[in-house]
Structure 1
Amino acid sequence: MERVEAEKLETDAATKVWSVHDFCKRHRLCAEEERRLTSLFGMFATARELLNNAQRTPKWR
């Protein structure tokens, strides 16, 4: 087992905190989905939380 010091860890993009509104705008999510994510997390959440909980409708050709 390897011991890792917290100071040596790099922060990755998944730990970035996003505004739910900005995330929904960037990922082209509908207003209903934005309301759902806001009720789950409030005004801000990490990218990982948002990506794992966003429901996207399939885009058929």
Structure 2
Amino acid sequence: MTEHIEPRQIETDDLMKVWSVTEFCARHYIDAEEQAMLLKLFGPFATACELLHNARRAQRFR
């Protein structure tokens, strides 16, 4: 079943939230090397969308 969604119904506020890069890395278990790359790329602050699309995390197996 499909459903039509109007573009104005989609909330993008969460993706546009500005995060501290160091806090984002701590919450998402990103290592120091990757954190340094993100800090070099964006500086101390970036939007959640930018961070999520540019961060690489190590695989976490059970």
- CA RMSD for the aligned pairs? 1.5
CA distance in 2, matches of 1:24, 1:42: 13
Higher helix share: 1
- Report the Cα offset of residue 60 of structure 1: 2.5
Which sections of structure 1, spanning at least 5 residues, go unmatched? 5-9
Gaps of 5+ in 2: 1-7
TM-score, scaled relative to structure 1: 0.78
TM score, norm. by length of structure 2: 0.77
How many residue pairs were aligned? 53
**How far does residue 46 in structure 1 lie from its aligned partner after superposition?**
0.2
Question: Percent identity of the aligned residues?
Answer: 57
Q: Which aligned segments of 4 or more residues in structure 1 are displaced greater than 3 angstroms?
A: none
